[in-house]
Every structure is written in structure tokens, then in C-alpha cells.
Amino acid sequence: MKLLLLSNSASTGARYLEHAVPLIGKTLSPGQQVVFIPFAGVVQSWDAYTDKVRDALSDLKLDIVGVHTLADPLAAIATADAVMVGGGNTFNLLRECRLRGLLKAIPAAVRNGAFYVGWSAGANLACPTIRTTNDMPIVDPGGLDALNLFPVQINPHFTNALPAGHQGETREQRIRELLALAPELEVIGLPEGNWIERHDDQAWAYGPHPTLLFKAGEPALTLAADYPLI
């Protein structure tokens, strides 16, 4: 099983998916078939979203097709070299994937060798549930269970910073609320610019910023580079 789970799609001063290009290029070769899942896109069309990703990854010369354009998406996913899932609204992403039967098709393909790449909402979708998304529930996804390709909950875009004068909770406080109700869970706070790679039964976090691990009743743990996530 090969997973690349990115906190975000772009960083300040960088092009869209710029930091992801070399990471994806380590696994995929020119001409390989990629099915892109654009359903987290709400304020842009799925065609435009697919074109944006295709353009951002053009140097890799991959054959990227939007799943929404396919006559038989389940068959295409089953034979794809990679499945990519973009960021946006996690609730809409999960709803559309559930309606189309992709919540079974994607894990089956990944366990059969397809490379899973997800950023932001796409990283959340790889978790057991989407309970650690930052997004508003703008639609009812029919349940919060997700792909369960990665056994630990991820909070992408993690930061504890609050704007001056803001009276809301920090991100850690929100995560602590979840852990108070579900103490069996663990949550990875994945800052922008960081990512997780899984290769079969091993996974590590990478990137320029500290990645945190939250457990119920314990202080946040700053993960060392060699800390095993699973």
C-alpha cells in the first residue's frame, strides 16, 4: 500500500502543488494512468479543478482524467496506477464518493497496488473518518466513515495560531474536544508544508515544520523524523 497524504496544496510563495511534484514523481512515471477525484471542489467546476491539477503536474507527464467524466468510473479506478483526491470541502467530497460507490472502489484499488495521493480534504478522506476535518458540514455525507487507508486521524492545515482578538477555540482545543468523547482515537496535527508517506505497514511524517500527535489525557507529542505512525 502506497499513500502520500499532504496537508495542503500550496504554500506561500509557491505554485499550486509545487512541493508535491517531486514526491509524486518518486512513485509515478510518465504515461501512467491517474484518476482524479475533484468532488471537494465546490466553487469551481470539476472540469476546471481537473485541468488545474493536470497543469500543476504537467512536468510529470501523467495521464490524468477526472473521475466525473468517465463512463465506468469503478472500472477505471480498478485499473488506475494512481488515485488522486483534491482538497476543498470534505463533506461534499465524502458525499459524492459515497453516492458513486467509490468508498469501496478506492480502497480496493489501493490495496491492489494503486498509489493514493490526497491533499487537505483528500488526506482526511484516507482516514477512518472525516471527524478531524476543518470544514463546515455544508452537505450531509450520509455518515462520517471514510476510506480507512490510514489508521490515524489527520488534521490538515494544523496550526494553533489565532488572529488578534479572536475568541474562538484553538485547533488543539477542538482536537481535545474530540478526544474527550472518543479517547481511543489518536490525531495527527499536520502543518501546512508537511506530509505523510505510507509504504505497506510503515508510515512517517515529513516536512519543514513540527508534526504533533495528540492522545487523550496526554500532552501533545512532537514527532521525531523517525517516529513510526502505524
Check residue 179 and give its pLDDT. Answer: 98
150-161 pLDDT, tens digit per residue, is 999 999 999 988
Confidence of residue 55 (pLDDT cuts 50, 70, 90): very high
Residues 6+ apart with CB under 8 A from 190: 5, 7, 123, 154, 155, 156, 157, 158, 196, 205, 211
- Architecture label for domain 2-222: 3-Layer(aba) Sandwich (3.40)
pLDDT digits (tens, 9 = 90+) for 113-133: 999 999 999 999 999 999 999
Instruction: Output the CA angle 227-184-115, nearest 5 degrees.
Output: 50
Q: Active-site residue numbers?
A: 120, 135, 157
Is residue 13 pLDDT above 90, yes or no? no
Tell me the mean pLDDT in the region 50-70. 98
Domain range annotation of the chain: 2-222
